[in-house]
Amino acid sequence: MSLFKARDWWSTVLGEKEEFDQGCLCVADVDNSGQDKIIVGSYMGYLRIFNPHPVKPGDEVQAEDLLLEVQLREPILQVEVGKFVSGTEGLHLAVLHCRRLCVYAVSETLGNVEHGNQYQIKLMYEHQLQRTACNMTYGPFGGVKGRDLICIQSMDGMLMLFEQESYAFGRFLPGFLLPGPLTYSSRTDSFITVSSSRQVESYKYQVLAFATDADGRQETVQQKLSSGKKLVVDWILNIGEQALDICIVSFNQAVSSVFVLGERSLFCLKDNGQIRFMKKLDYSPSCFIPYCSVKEGTINTLVGNHSKMLYVYQDITLKWATQLPHVPVSVKVANLQGLKGVIVTLSDSGHLQCSYLGTDPSLFQAPRVDSKEINYEEFNAEMKELQKIIKEATKTQDILPQSEKHRDLIVTAEVSPDLDVESQMFRDNFLMLWSSVKFSSIFNKSEHWQAIDSEIKAEVVPSVTVKVTMQSKVTAQKPYLAVCVQAPLAVTCDQFTFNDLDPGSSETVVLSVFLKGNFPPSELEGNCVFSCNTPTELNPEGIPKFAQCKFKLPLRLVCFPAQPSKSANHKLTIDTNKPPISFLTIFPDFADPSEDDQANALGFQFLSGSKITLLASKTSQRYRIQSDQLEDLWLITKELTLRLEEHFKKQNCKDFACTFSGSVPLQEYFELIDRHFELRLNAEKFQELLSERAIQFRAIERRLLTRFKDKTPAPLQHLDTLLEGTFREVIALADAAEENQANMFQAFTKLKSATHLVIMLIGLWQKLNADQVAIMEAAFLPLAEDTQELGWEETVDSAISFLLRTCLSKSSKEQALSLSSQLSMPKDTSRLKKNISLFCDRLAKGGRLSLSTETATQQATGVPGGCATIPESDLEERAVVPGSTAVFSHHKHTAKQKSNPAIYRNRHGNYLQEVHVMEVAVCERFV
């Protein structure tokens, strides 16, 4: 907030409930009397002309300051003053309405009584517009002398030029979407605007003039769509943001410049579109006006913002800041009553003010303070106490203290210990779908919703009931609950809305969670987010608040007991420091007490069909998990470690720990990475093929339409056959791309499961704490969803490269290397796999994960049995002992060959061969 407020010289409020905008204010000598007047038009159709006189503080505005007030019955979009009437060089007033342009003459009549002179307006001419107008500009188009021409921009992108009383021509802006600000530069004789593509564009008037229609059609006919021709742009500058206003500055001592006010920046351009300078604004501007500076070679600019502030810049240097009583939508600089440099501002509600910068002498004098001795010891004690409070307050990074966050709103989720007794997968589908769309809180208090649209090929898909309770200690407006689970898990209803909650009230909803996809999820967790608005005295509409909670889903939701398997492709061994526990104790929901062999061996089978076996050693403190798929080991391994920790925690055993000393399965992990990346490449190629076939389809359509419109019948030359074949090929490509998308989502879920498993094994191997494991999860699992624009491979590669150059760096040279600021899809996965291998090698050598940028000291520690370090150079590679076992696969291992994404050829076989022949025919015919 500025220390200085704008000094009020004269102000008034216009009308009641009227609206104003940028073009509604104009300052000019409209009556040709030699003094500036203030012209204001409103969207209610009122036109007012003021001649302000200074008033004393507290006095009301004199009635004679309002020279003219007239209602034109149509909204006034913009007012301008110029030489708009032929045969005279006097100034006239141009008023732009939605469908009409009117030019008036403002004249003064001497009064015979004490009430003073009278002002009146006379309509000189008007133009009826065939298009809805947006804004206008004027100037000596084409270098004419002694008169101004008018250019109006319509809402559909047509520039309509008027040579005073007659309509000249109209041209359409190329690539038009929405109208932007428009101005005219007399120095270059060009129109400058900002298009909806956020580009400053300049169009020469001569280009428009040479393309003018030469026939003598009537004005209304020339304004129709058929008479417009597109323009050719002179120069383009991309500013990257939408513009609010444009001004042309051409003072004697300053270089001719084009000023553009953007949403977050102020640009100054040369006549040819080059940037002279720009100023990045840290606020949201509302209007601006450049004016002459006393310093040669510089330009002053007034910029108003939505915080009721007015800033004065000299080029890019801030010279002054002052506060206004309103948010300005238009600002002008005027000379009123001999006072130069009066700032005229107008708000959207009609607050018109004339002000000046500076300060008034303060008449207030502070009372004399009784002098007394200063107690320095007391001040020091108070200072220490304040510093202690500040230090405690700055420890947390949260916006609100933890005690304030969850005090007003509480949300809890209770998962049923048993699965739902009845599954309604093949029954009541219509009722469930209808109730999920039209939800009423009455249904949620007693109904148990089960799986209704699962994709699993099973007779019964298990579901579990989750009961969510929301409590509010304050008034909650627009309460909203969202329930989210990891795909392919799904819920019967994931969004709930309620009526406003009173203080102390609560709401309860009941929903069911089930497995929808034919593959296991990567996490058995869910999240509930409850949001609402709580009204306050200052904000009756309410401030947003939210509360959230997480809930854990049972393992029985995705798998069921099965017979243990003796053989498997992937095996993991988890070591503990306690004797093995019987599976009958830690897995009572899967083990059968009547079978003694399940105490040390237990089998699991996912609903998708894959099996996992869990074994406990009878002689050592080890557990083995084995399966044919690497990603299937994750959920069982996690469940095993969690249940072991809970078991020993109940027995008050605090020194229980799990470790891992085997080989981290990086080679199998890399195969999953290659599979996911291969599907991403296929998706990219499918997109290219679809684009090519779509272009071909549209080309054939144009040829067919040309043949059909031709008055002389001609043979189609098999164009209809080509069109049908191309259409079928587009459909086949779309089906294949959709199938590839589903496979990519499934591959990404498997990759996340394997990534969770690798992170756990590395954490158990290196005995990492919770903070270090969190850093690994942030680096390896940065994305909740995988897209073509931002994929898993490039994101993880960038994160791991950052860790290798910071906390895991070996020297200061690695820290000096700069990382790329742009993420793009890599050509292959060799660099990613190399960085992952190097990451594990640095951890094996003693590196520790930390968010600090200091170089971590690499200590030579013993590598676990069966492990060998990765050579980081050719010399080191030659020094590797032959026959040694490498736990982490070398980055030069061969990746899978990328397959051509012509999967759909297998499904559509001979048909696509015919389409290929038709493609060749199309190319030959079009050439």
pTM of the complete model beyond 0.85: no
Q: Are 131 and 120 in contact (CB under 8 A)?
A: no
Closest C-alpha among 755, 735, 744 to residue 690: 735
Say yes or no to pLDDT of 449 above 80.
no
465-484 tens-digit pLDDT:
999 999 888 888 889 999 99
Say yes or no to pLDDT of 539 above 50.
yes
Q: Which 3 state secondary structure label does DSSP give 367?
A: coil
* Residue 264: band (very low, low, confident or very high) from pLDDT cuts 50, 70, 90: very high
Say yes or no to pLDDT of 444 above 70.
no
Give the H or E element holding residue 105: strand 100-109
Q: Are 195 and 201 in contact (CB under 8 A)?
A: yes
* Residue 364: band (very low, low, confident or very high) from pLDDT cuts 50, 70, 90: low
pLDDT at 455: 59
**Kindly report the CA angle at 403 between 398 and 405, in degrees rounded to 5?**
60
Tell me the mean pLDDT in the region 811-827.
69
What is the rounded CA–CA span in Å between residue 787 and residue 360?
61
* Residue 390: band (very low, low, confident or very high) from pLDDT cuts 50, 70, 90: confident
What tokens appear for 669 in the block?
């992990």
Say yes or no to pLDDT of 864 above 50.
no
Beta bridge partners of 182: 193
pLDDT at 451: 47
Strands 166-172 and 158-163: antiparallel
Tally the residues of the chain.
927
Say yes or no to pLDDT of 740 above 60.
yes
Say yes or no to pLDDT of 770 above 70.
yes
Radius of gyration of the chain (CA): 38
pLDDT at 736: 93
Tell me the mean pLDDT in the region 760-765.
90
Tell me the mean pLDDT in the region 612-622.
87
273-313 tens-digit pLDDT:
999 999 999 999 999 999 887 777 788 999 999 999 999 99
pLDDT at 254: 64
What tokens appear for 71 in the block?
């209602």
* Sequence-ordered strand ranges (E) for 679-741: none
Whether cis (ω within 30° of 0) applies to the bond prior to 488 is: yes
Span of 151-165, 241-255, 431-445, 710-724 with lowest mean pLDDT: 431-445
pLDDT at 228: 46
pLDDT at 122: 92
Q: Using CA atoms of 666, 672, 676, 681 in order, give the dihedral in degrees to the nearest 10.
A: 70
**pLDDT higher for 410 or 902?**
410
* Residue 112: band (very low, low, confident or very high) from pLDDT cuts 50, 70, 90: low
What is the rounded CA–CA span in Å between residue 375 and residue 917?
99
Tell me the mean pLDDT in the region 228-240.
79
pLDDT at 215: 38
Place of tokens 């150079």: 873
pLDDT at 812: 64
Say yes or no to pLDDT of 878 above 90.
no
**CA dihedral (573, 574, 575, 580) positive or negative:** negative
pLDDT at 250: 79
pLDDT at 115: 60
What tokens appear for 399 in the block?
């916006």
pLDDT at 296: 78
- Helix ranges, 827-887 (H): 830-844, 874-878
pLDDT at 194: 94
Question: Crossing angle for the helix pair 719-766 and 904-926, nearest 10 degrees?
Answer: 130
What is the rounded CA–CA span in Å between residue 704 and residue 723?
9
pLDDT at 27: 94
Say yes or no to pLDDT of 504 above 70.
yes
What is the rounded CA–CA span in Å between residue 329 and residue 305?
9
Question: Crossing angle for the helix pair 719-766 and 633-650, nearest 10 degrees?
Answer: 30
- Which domains are assigned to the chain? 5-213+230-358 (2.130.10.10), 408-417+462-557 (2.60.40.10), 560-660 (3.30.310), 670-845 (no CATH)
The pLDDT mean for the chain works out to 80
pLDDT at 221: 47
What is the rounded CA–CA span in Å between residue 537 and residue 166?
59
Closest C-alpha among 762, 759, 823, 767 to residue 795: 823
**Kindly report the CA angle at 47 between 43 and 52, in degrees rounded to 5?**
120
* Residue 370: band (very low, low, confident or very high) from pLDDT cuts 50, 70, 90: low
**CA dihedral (314, 316, 317, 318) positive or negative:** positive
* Residue 69: band (very low, low, confident or very high) from pLDDT cuts 50, 70, 90: very high
What is the rounded CA–CA span in Å between residue 349 and residue 372?
53
Q: Are 679 and 786 in contact (CB under 8 A)?
A: no
Closest C-alpha among 263, 334, 260, 343 to residue 305: 263
Question: Crossing angle for the helix pair 666-709 and 719-766, nearest 10 degrees?
Answer: 160
Span of 163-177, 344-358, 589-603, 718-732 with lowest mean pLDDT: 589-603
What is the rounded CA–CA span in Å between residue 809 and residue 273?
47
Say yes or no to pLDDT of 424 above 80.
no
pLDDT at 405: 45
